[in-house]
Amino acid sequence: MNILLVHNYYQIPGGEDTVVKNEKELLEANGCKVWLYTRNNSEIKDFSILQKLCLPITSIFSLKTYQEIRRILRDNHIEMVHVHNTLSLISPAVYYAAEKEHVPVIQTVHNYRLICPAATLYRKKGICTDCLEKGLGCAVMHKCYRASRIQSFVSACVLWIHRKSGIYRKINYICLTDFNRRKLLEAKKHGNTLFHAAKMYVKPNFTAPVKAYKPYGERENYFIYVGRLDSLKGIRLLLKRWRNIQERLVVCGTGPEESWCREFCAENRMEQVELKGQLSHDEIMKLIGNARALIFPTQWYEGQPMTIVESFSVGTPVIGTELGNVEEMIEEGKTGLHVDVALESLSDKLNELKPEMSDACLREYERKYTPQVNFKAFTRIWSDIQRNSI
């Protein structure tokens, strides 16, 4: 099969970039010929004044994308366009280019941007579904995207215009979890038929198997947090709770809250906490594979956290908030434990871990998250799309 992967990189690297890389390698390893069309939002730094002024318009529809995608599809006999991210430079123009050339599109849904201009369904320290229930104007009123009314307005316009065109109903979607699919389809409950349910599939992300971990009984006595240091991820709340916990905590990552984290730990003399900063993926996997558990204190629904998948791949249980995808991915008492969103029960949960959870995590990984399982799911989805297009 000839496949075009389309991805707009953010200025700060994230999990979506890893997914694109993994899927490209997986498809090529299974005999597919893959083209990659990418843009990077770091390009904006070098834009002329005129280009920056036009960015709100090109974010809605990029003529450059439309023309380039059409040319790629024609010249290379592309059979499928697989889109990961279009914000901000690629824009939804890719969908119209593919439609014009009669090539089916699959959009992997990494977040909630299709129903929430901020992409998180989160506002002011809590879950928010106002845009889903009351309309996109709520995001503008509350300045949900980057705390800017102008940027929120542009983000809402992108959704409103392309909803009105009906293009979203013509696209096939890969949701990473059943929870994600249900959330998108909730739009129908509020009178918005944004998506065609028959075109929405569930296929989780995957990760390659890793051997750099120890049997659970031989591990060191520490817990680990891996992720962006951001209040949305629950890092502030985690450290506040850990102030009264003497167990060792290793924190890997960087982000907007890094300075606060370091100052808080210093002020409270939290010598049991190690702030490692940004580490390589191999270093992080070794640390996860030697830990008693991964702590995942997120305060939003999440897309499908790769950190949890990677934790399962090395037999490390996860203690995560009972919220959205994290709650669904963790089987209580088997692959980990659920903790309340406020983390009030976190200290007790640390003592409820059992050695047999490690084997359960490995079985869960083998059942859902290996490259082989993923490719089989992908071929089933593609076959179904082909049948429906006849």
Q: Are 179 and 328 in contact (CB under 8 A)?
A: yes
Residue 191 is predicted with a pLDDT of 66
Residue 190 is predicted with a pLDDT of 63
Tens digit of pLDDT for each residue in 350-382?
A: 999 999 999 999 999 999 999 999 999 999 999
pLDDT band of 193, cuts 50, 70, 90? confident
Residue 14 is predicted with a pLDDT of 79
pLDDT band of 82, cuts 50, 70, 90? very high
Q: Average the pLDDT over 108-118 and give the result.
A: 95
Q: What percent of the chain has pLDDT over 70?
A: 98
Query: 3-state DSSP call for residue 315?
Result: coil
Question: Could you tell me the two tokens for 303?
Answer: 């897309």
Angle formed by the axes of helices 306-313 and 281-288, nearest 10°: 60
pLDDT band of 307, cuts 50, 70, 90? very high
Distance CA 36, CA 24 (A): 8
pLDDT beyond 90 at 188: no
pLDDT band of 390, cuts 50, 70, 90? low
Residue 61 is predicted with a pLDDT of 97
Query: For the stretch 73-112, what's the b/e string if a residue is b when 16 or more beta carbons lie within 10 angstroms of its beta carbon?
Result: beeeebbbbbbbbbbbbbbbbbbbbbeeeebbbbbbbbbb
Residue 78 is predicted with a pLDDT of 97
pLDDT band of 15, cuts 50, 70, 90? confident
Q: Average the pLDDT over 190-211 and give the result.
A: 87
Residue 310 is predicted with a pLDDT of 94
pLDDT beyond 70 at 301: yes
Domains of the chain: 2-207+371-389 (3.40.50.2000), 216-368 (3.40.50.2000)
What DSSP state is assigned to residue 110?
-
pLDDT band of 54, cuts 50, 70, 90? very high
Query: 3-state DSSP call for residue 118?
Result: coil
pLDDT beyond 70 at 212: no
Query: In terms of DSSP H, where are the helices of 305-355?
Result: 306-313, 324-329, 346-350
Q: What percent of the chain has pLDDT over 90?
A: 89
What's the chain's average pLDDT? Answer: 94
pLDDT band of 86, cuts 50, 70, 90? very high
